[in-house]
Structure 1
């Protein structure tokens, strides 16, 4: 047990070390704007007097032929040269000052002159007037003198160091308990996910991934809590020592301002969020009404000449897309953070992506609309296009999917290719009669054509997938040199079985003609053979 605790404490030390480095980097980031601001002030001859990380006063004007830099340097030297006796026995005093045309105030510690500020040093936006400047500067100086006094007291420093050590011990205990507890919860979730995985015997159980995701979330929360505890500890520790107390106040003020900004942002966004919900509710209601309307138009319950039943589905999708696009345009300015640089960056990124890929995409979309609104194809039609033959299974705005006759091959044809090739639709003009199929046979002139017609029609009656209404028909296509060309037309409701239907039909035709002793003239014969070239009928 002791070894386990030592391991945990060692891990905690590593965590403290890593997060300590991280937070010192963050601390430097927070203090960087102050240094940058001071550099900017120096560029315009504004010099801020800083002692023990405290900004005391800002010098902006020349006084008695001394520049702001010289005034700040002299004041800093005087304050740094104060003895412990000066700090204990003497008090801060403020006396009026008149030096030529310059009027202001002089600060003393007892009889020791520290520095002076005149009207030309005022910043009207932050200081207001001399009285406000006097009050603010006196408070800062009083605090500074107390801090310098405490900095010289060894018992005080020992006392504050003990507080920091106690805070560090408490931090270690809290982080240890927090990590152990959340790791225990994360382990339970992972075990639960593994048990679900094994129970499926190699299958997929979505709950397993839910537990894994929850475990990762718990781990992330654990690290965030650890970072928060270290941040609080660092803030507390810095505020215990006179030299670093201002830094601790800045860290505390930063987290307070952040929390306040988050909550005030949430409260301030409530009216916009309510507006967004109302707009989305209205849009959802309109889309539901449009869905009902288009469904009734497609069913024929509502006669609307603008929409054809074959294009109703596409019209509904276009109307829904336009409506939601308009809704997004309206609610975008109301989304919290929409005016931030992050949203602007995402907008630029999406704009670049759309610009780069818009040419091909728009071409396919427009081609899809042409295919849909020209009503050249419908789902379920038996078609031949671009060398492909089969039944249309999906008609999309980007591509069309055709299932081949063997039902195991699906061909995807981009709509841009589709509209640039002839489309043969064998179903559209035969909605009630079924898909038309045909086969040809060549018979010699010695066979009576009426008997040939009868045998071809009779062959269709034995195949259940061939419709009897309308009846199959036989046409004599040509009177060639050696034979007559007959073409048999049939109707079927199962075009996907075309190969099987024609195969069975050909077998039956062969049997009928063999029984009748009529020779099929394929291959071609220049001279009639002495004996018939045919097989025995079963």
Structure 2
């Protein structure tokens, strides 16, 4: 009994009291932290459908409302656990300092906690100048891009004009300038990125560069061809063209490919490299002058005189409403065969998008005009007379 009185009269019970007080404070802070996060969780659930809405890209839902609420709830749960652990560690460190026997242990534990935090904090402080340079470079790049966009947009609208620079070049030129500015900014800020000088970062950069160089050779070729075609201006959207074996209206043109809609309503995709290396005919470009010349071949027997054929073909052109009378149509004598003479009717039109239908209408008119004139369009067919050797070869063997 005397020992208990001596213990209570001494200061040995004060560390225990301080530890209990620290535990009570830690418990109160933990309760407040849990209460605050629980209210935040309820607030997040209440915001569903009002402040929290689905993230969409056009008609595609990237993150639904339920998914966003679930992610925020998970973040709050992780914050609750982290806060409890931090308060527990702080209580343990403070409690160890109350007892003389564990003060050295408290100092070691405090070093284990503060040294990593101090190292991270010093790293952030030392990185602030580099971060400021990166922010300045990005902001300067965005300002430069806005200025470049405004300049080329004015050219596209016709407000600003330069001799030899067509307005339809403004869009592609802006895309090229934008790419150059972005690449330039990336090159500038690359050395200032975290761990940019590490071997792992350099190895990943080299690996990605090799993949891009090996896998995009054809794509790069099409892009270069698209740039060349853009400044050559061989065709525009809505032009009627013939590319290789494809004939139709250009409905899309980009740096990689060109899409052509045929008269059969087929969409044909043609790489720009194939267009640049092949042959192309732009009928719409011809229509800007005298017009596109339609060529219609015709074969007739020698019993029909040429003096009668030419007026009939010219009359067929006159009856075709989408063919021009000026310049005047003409007929050419293009060949003499054994049984037929070959002619070619040439007529002008300024409606290249209607070429297949004009050809069809012209053929109908030719049939009608020749039927009214009583001229037979059928041509005699010449079969060569078999030789005596062929007759002998056809005799059955004995």
Which residue of structure 2 aligns with residue 517 of structure 1?
A: 374
Is contact 2:53-2:65 (8 Å) kept?
Answer: no
Displacement of 1:457: 3.1
Corresponding residue to 2:23 among 164, 188, 210:
164
2:301 corresponds in structure 1 to 444
For residues 3-60 of structure 1, the C-alpha deviation after alignment (integer angstroms, 9 at most, x for no partner) is xxxxxxxxxxxxxxxxxxxxxxxxxxxxxxxxxxxxxxxxxxxxxxxxxxxxxxxxxx
Unmatched tracts of structure 1, length 5 or more: 1-149, 198-203, 528-538
Q: Using a 3 Å threshold, how does the CA distance of structure 1 residues 192 and 318 change in structure 2: closer, same or farther?
A: closer
Structure 1 residues 275, 285: CA separation in 2 closer, same or farther (over 3 Å shift)?
A: same
Are positions 1:498 and 2:378 aligned together? Answer: no
Counterpart position of 1:386:
244
Aligned to 1:277: 139
Contact 2:290 2:348 in 1 (8 A): yes
Q: Distance in 1 between matches of 2:60 and 2:256?
A: 31
> Structure 1 residues 474 and 278 mapped into 2: Cα distance closer, same or farther (>3 Å)?
same
Q: In the TM superposition, what whole-angstrom CA distance separates every residue of 1:360-413 from its partner, at most 9, and x where no partner exists?
A: 333333443454455554444433333222223333332222221223x22122
Deviations 1:280-338 (A, max 9, x none): 424542554355458769x9x5324xx678867655544443344334434544x5647
Alignment CA distance shift 1:490-1:359 (3 Å): same
> Aligned Cα RMSD in Å?
4.4
Aligned residue for 2:289, secondary structure, equals: coil
Distance 1:526-1:182 versus aligned 2 partners, 3 A rule: same
1:365 to 223, 226, 229: 223
Do structure 1's residue 189 and structure 2's residue 73 form an aligned pair? no
Residue 113 (structure 2) aligns with:
251
State the match for 1:234 in structure 2.
88
TM-score (norm 1): 0.54
Evaluate the alpha carbon distance shift between residue 459 and residue 238 of structure 1 in structure 2; reply closer, same or farther with a 3 A threshold. farther
In structure 2, the residue corresponding to 1:241 is in which secondary structure? helix
The 5 Å alignment of 1:64-103 reads: none
Larger radius of gyration: 1
Q: Would the alpha carbon gap of residues 248 and 520 (structure 1) be closer, same or farther in structure 2, given more than 3 Å must change?
A: same
Match of 2:391 in 1: none
Residues 287 and 352 of structure 2 are in contact (CA less than 8 Å); yes or no, is this contact kept in structure 1? no
Q: 1:383 to 1:265 in 2, by over 3 A?
A: same
Inter-partner Cα distance in structure 2 for 1:366 and 1:229:
56
Give the SS at the match of 1:466: coil
Which residue of structure 2 aligns with residue 123 of structure 1?
none
The answer to whether the aligner puts 1:508 opposite 2:365 as a matched pair is yes
Q: Aligned equivalents of 1:227 and 1:189: distance in 2?
A: 24
For 2:92 and 2:378, locate their aligned partners in 1 and report how far apart those are by CA, in whole Å: 107
Q: Which of 280, 302, 306 is matched with 2:162 structurally?
A: 302
CA gap of 1:364–1:194, structure 2 versus 1, over 3 A, is: closer
Q: Is the partner of 1:474 in helix, strand or coil?
A: strand
- Alignment partner of 1:189: what SS? coil
Q: Using a 3 Å threshold, how does the CA distance of structure 1 residues 422 and 319 change in structure 2: closer, same or farther?
A: same
Instruction: Name the SS for the 2:48 alignment partner.
Output: helix
Of residues 314, 327, 341, the one that matches 1:457 is: 314
Residue matched to 2:33: 174
Q: Aligned to 1:447, what secondary structure does the other structure show?
A: coil
Could you tell me which residue of structure 2 aligns to residue 479 of structure 1?
Answer: 336
Which deviations, in whole Å up to 9, do the C-alpha atoms of 1:146-178 show, x marking residues without a partner? xxxx9xx67735752564366346425533551
When the two structures are superposed, what TM-score results if normalisation uses the length of structure 2? 0.70
Structure-2 separation of matches of 1:289 and 1:450: 63
1:329 equivalent in structure 2:
187
Report the Cα distance in structure 1 between the residues aligned to 2:182 and 2:130, rounded to whole angstroms: 26
Match of 1:218 among 66, 69, 72: 72
SS in 2 for 1:363: helix
Query: Are the counterparts in 2 of residues 194 and 208 from structure 1 also a CA contact under 8 Å?
Result: no
CA contact (8 A) 2:156 2:170 kept: yes
**How many angstroms apart in 1 are the aligned matches of 2:25 and 2:174?**
69
Q: When the two structures are aligned, how many residues end up with a matched partner? A: 364
Deviations 1:191-242, CA, capped at 9 Å, x for gaps: 8889999xxxxxx767995756753563354245324413422332331332
